[in-house]
Structure 1
């Protein structure tokens, strides 16, 4: 079922509730395409369907990495301090930059690499567009983490994403060690939706991008999920791509080491899963957080 067949009254994944309700079994597949539809082999697709994530080494070749690292430094150095797309830590350092493909032609090229865009199309079984893009910067000593959450919970509640038909690609631009804030995932948790308690405040994104407190499961829910699914920590060299389903439970700790961690974070949504009105928020989040006007990709270029 695609979003064209769903209405605002069709909410199969209620959340932001007054009281806790039981987890909800996922209805949609995780992988929508087949081995004939792209570069991933059947074993890769089976692993993604089972675990909700997969790691692809050398998604960005080593020759690209110095230029991309310099580009991140340039974007950070030239960022308008009043631009709402620039999210800062409480101490002032840059935490995230949204829509980096509009700041940088080089980052825009990464989106359309053969190791990126065709994979997104294959996993989602359709043409795709960028629901969200950002660069995440976790500097040494001061970088703070991201609390446990399902992205779909936010995208459903605050953006109006009707179905679980989106996938994220996090491309490491620095070494991801077990100790510098690398991402943790609960494998298999994507098959269950965990409703959360608490209404969405007005303009929740203004604070949630720094510290998310609404739309996160309770400690008891997270404990039960971890006991059921376990926790994997994703590490690897620069150039590695982590693909993960929109509903997988994930998070990261703070970085108190000297070693920074930065990545390009791309969210691909199926063109058959267009956003509706938010299910649990008064107004949609800004376009730079949840694209409503973006078009599918052409064969050679990014269009927005």
Structure 2
């Protein structure tokens, strides 16, 4: 197994008992002014997430929904590794690295209204670590099991610290019944290791199955965290968004309703937190899952 050259501050994929540990890093990394006000930063720091109302206009929602449909019907793209299908059907589950296949999405992902928030919270220049559109179709969109994104990015991508966050932008209304994002507020302040070695090419399994075999905290820890922190659903109209810390425990139920729950998902990482060798995997995941074309902090 590849051994990372940098100190491992968050050991995971352990053998035996997983022991949660307090997070040693902040979630808001500086005090620079930016788009978020003091109260918003306080909420994000305390809860690990922040809802952004009316991020997109109705016209923008229509534009991005049209582009999402186009990507899901592109034969060349459908034949590529960037596309992940639902576990029980041939319907599209996710399309990754959308800034490489869509100028429309690239413009949004690199826009100041998103990048300036990332620069403010992470107190540095930033880059896109991962992007995708999720389709979550009606009558069968599969669940995403409870997990911390940072646990995966640390173990399989070599991200040293949780100096990253995600933005999920709704392109359809998030109802309680169509599989909206669920979070455990405040869990971003505790790192919960998972048990078991990372299988070779594990991303081919973990991205498609409802309950991956490795990478999710065990039921004992999930139960304790839920009892301590509670569970909240993030519902809201198309055009709203939620930003959440890379270490926040989150997941979503399956979609048995007729109504799709589609979104744009972007991960912003600090250029001072770039990827190295995986901490608990034989090889890094592919480029379309973990961007290694990051800028030098000295060149910004």
TM-score by length of 2: 0.94
Of the structure 1 ranges 63-72 and 241-250, higher mean CA displacement relative to structure 2 is found in 63-72
Matching residue of 2:16: 19
Matching residue of 1:220: 220
Task: Quote how far apart the aligned CAs of 1:63 are.
Answer: 1.5
Rounded to whole Å, the distance in 2 between the matches of 1:177 and 1:247 is: 24
Structure 1 residues 95 and 117 mapped into 2: Cα distance closer, same or farther (>3 Å)?
same
TM-score by length of 1: 0.93
The aligned runs of 1:1-304 (5 Å cut-off) are: 8-34=5-31, 36-80=32-76, 81-90=78-87, 91-211=89-209, 212-295=212-295
Instruction: Give the secondary structure class of the aligned counterpart of 2:112.
Output: coil
Task: Quote how far apart the aligned CAs of 1:111 are.
Answer: 1.0
Instruction: Give the secondary structure class of the aligned counterpart of 2:128.
Output: strand
Rounded to whole Å, the distance in 2 between the matches of 1:252 and 1:93 is: 18
What do residues 138-158 of structure 1 show as CA deviations (whole Å, max 9, x unaligned)?
A: 011110110000000000000
Structure 1 residues 9 and 69 mapped into 2: Cα distance closer, same or farther (>3 Å)?
closer
Conserved? CA contact 2:274–2:294, under 8 Å: no
Rounded to whole Å, the distance in 2 between the matches of 1:32 and 1:84 is: 35
Task: Quote how far apart the aligned CAs of 1:204 are.
Answer: 0.2
Task: Quote how far apart the aligned CAs of 1:9 are.
Answer: 4.7
Conserved? CA contact 1:161–1:274, under 8 Å: yes
Number of equivalenced pairs:
290
Matching residue of 1:4: none
Conserved? CA contact 2:174–2:237, under 8 Å: yes
Instruction: Give the secondary structure class of the aligned counterpart of 2:84.
Output: strand
Task: Quote how far apart the aligned CAs of 1:62 are.
Answer: 1.6
What do residues 187-225 of structure 1 show as CA deviations (whole Å, max 9, x unaligned)?
A: 000000001101000000011001222111111110001
What do residues 107-150 of structure 1 show as CA deviations (whole Å, max 9, x unaligned)?
A: 11111333311111111111100000000110111101100000
Q: What residue ranges of structure 1 are gaps of 5+ in the alignment?
A: 1-6, 298-304
Instruction: Give the secondary structure class of the aligned counterpart of 1:258.
Output: coil
Task: Quote how far apart the aligned CAs of 1:58 are.
Answer: 1.2
Task: Quote how far apart the aligned CAs of 1:33 are.
Answer: 2.8
Instruction: Give the secondary structure class of the aligned counterpart of 1:37.
Output: coil
Structure 1 residues 113 and 293 mapped into 2: Cα distance closer, same or farther (>3 Å)?
closer
Rounded to whole Å, the distance in 1 between the matches of 2:133 and 2:213 is: 21
Conserved? CA contact 1:129–1:296, under 8 Å: no
Structure 1 residues 112 and 61 mapped into 2: Cα distance closer, same or farther (>3 Å)?
farther
Rounded to whole Å, the distance in 2 between the matches of 1:233 and 1:61 is: 23
